[in-house]
Amino acid sequence: MHNALTIDVEDYFMVSAFAGIVKIEEWSQYESRVERNTELLLDLLDEYETKATFFTLGWIAERYPSLIRKIFDRGHELASHGYSHRLVYDLTPEVFKEDTRTTKKIIEDVIGAEIIGYRAASYSVTKRSLWALDILAEEGFLYDSSIFPIRHDRYGYHEFDRFSKVVELQNSQRIVELPLSTVRLIGRNLPIAGGGYLRLLPLRFIKWGIGSINRKENRPAIIYLHPWELDPGQPRINGSKLSVFRHHVNIKNTEQKLKNLVGSFDFAPVKVVYAQEIESIRGSI
């Protein structure tokens, strides 16, 4: 079974945890490490002959078009992570629509091909911002991977389905929703396979989790990480103690962990893993 490997392409200072300290207008003043880190990731994936989906910020695609073309030319899927990492539930539907449309066009112009996938900054499609799915479908997206079916201080919609689901929207539109992977443990959904969870949890536990999703539940897992998670040398941002801990914990081990995972499981881009669901939607709209 193929699992989906997804990379959210953003730099270390763009994350939501530091948004109160680093303003978007100041981004260009920070040392950029996204090209170096993404290229490291591309080499690692080549080594294991693995393809992934790269959800990319419009801001990054505008400034580093050659990086985006390199990702595409090396056989990976490009998708949208919004323009500048604003949280969906903080935006009005009008602003979200504009942001989504602009970013899709920027990425498509750079690679000369259509993109069909979206992931919101910090999984900010929650119960109160579900309207975003209607807008994504209107703007031509066939899948979204922004709902995290857990409880968390910044995101999460714990009642949502744990696995891929075709969501029926207004005006007979549909979209495939691909929630981030969790395992059921002690009556709760436990995130296992991305970002800080991936760095914090023992590799053995993550592998057990992916194996259990594949074998017991017969479903693919969706893994996510960021290029900055492979960069122990990144400058430190003076955020809150909790944010700094979450951001830096076990960064020096991520590369080995990722190598072990891509060596142990089969991974593919989202559009390959969920081709059937995606094509069923494409045919109907």
Question: Which residues lie near Zn ion (CB under 5 A)?
Answer: 8, 10, 121
Q: Are the C-beta atoms of residues 140 and 116 closer than 8 Å to each other?
A: yes
β-pairing verdict for 188-191 and 182-185: antiparallel
**Cα distance between the two ends of the chain:** 29
Nearest to 123 by CA among 149, 161, 96: 149
Give the nearest distance from C-beta 120 to Zn ion in angstroms.
Answer: 8
Residue in the shown chain whose Cβ atom is closest to Zn ion: 8
Identify which of residues 76 and 174 has a Cβ nearer to Zn ion in the complex.
76
Q: How far apart are CA 61 and CA 58, in angstroms?
A: 5
Q: Which two tokens stand for residue 12?
A: 């270390």
Identify which of residues 174 and 247 has a Cβ nearer to Zn ion in the complex.
247
Q: How far apart are CA 86 and CA 121, in angstroms?
A: 6
Give the nearest distance from C-beta 275 to Zn ion in angstroms.
Answer: 25
Nearest to 228 by CA among 198, 260, 195, 202: 195
Identify which of residues 3 and 145 has a Cβ nearer to Zn ion in the complex.
145
Identify which of residues 84 and 250 has a Cβ nearer to Zn ion in the complex.
84
Give the nearest distance from C-beta 121 to Zn ion in angstroms.
Answer: 5
Identify which of residues 265 and 269 has a Cβ nearer to Zn ion in the complex.
269
Identify which of residues 10 and 277 has a Cβ nearer to Zn ion in the complex.
10
Give the nearest distance from C-beta 266 to Zn ion in angstroms.
Answer: 25
Give the nearest distance from C-beta 196 to Zn ion in angstroms.
Answer: 12
Give the nearest distance from C-beta 212 to Zn ion in angstroms.
Answer: 27
Residue type (1 letter), 121: A
Beta carbons within 10 angstroms of residue 182's beta carbon = 23
Q: H/E element holding 275?
A: helix 275-282
